[in-house]
């Protein structure tokens, strides 16, 4: 699997992330969740670290803006890039 999509610098993945945040927000609110984990994903071959970090920051901001008004915190978990 891709282990997340938040840092993948691909316009299609960015659109997928926006849709996932909108759909996830509905579930999180319905369940009364207070936190959610955003997965960065693994850097694709040929993608620069800077592009990935920029996309990740943009997507974290988008998720926080969508979820924080509902009292939901956005969390980030480091993943092992070697396995």
Backbone angles phi, psi at 7, to 5 degrees: -110, 10
Whole-angstrom Cα distance, residue 19 to residue 24? Answer: 8
**pLDDT beyond 90 at 80:** no
Mean pLDDT (the chain) is 93
What are the beta bridge partners of residue 74? 36
> What pLDDT score does 23 carry?
96
- 15: its two tokens: 């659109």
| pLDDT tens per residue, range 12-66 | 999 999 999 999 999 999 999 999 999 999 889 999 999 999 999 999 999 999 9
Give pTM, 2 decimals. 0.89
Whole-angstrom Cα distance, residue 17 to residue 37? Answer: 13
């Amino acid at each position: 699997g891709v282990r997340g999509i938040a840092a993948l610098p691909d316009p299609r993945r960015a659109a997928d992330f926006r849709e996932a945040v909108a759909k996830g927000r509905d579930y999180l609110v319905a369940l009364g969740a207070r936190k959610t984990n955003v997965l960065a994903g693994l850097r694709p071959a040929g993608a620069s670290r800077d592009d990935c970090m920029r996309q990740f920051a943009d997507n974290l901001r988008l998720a926080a803006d969508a979820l924080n008004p509902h009292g939901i915190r956005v969390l980030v978990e480091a993943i092992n890039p070697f396995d």
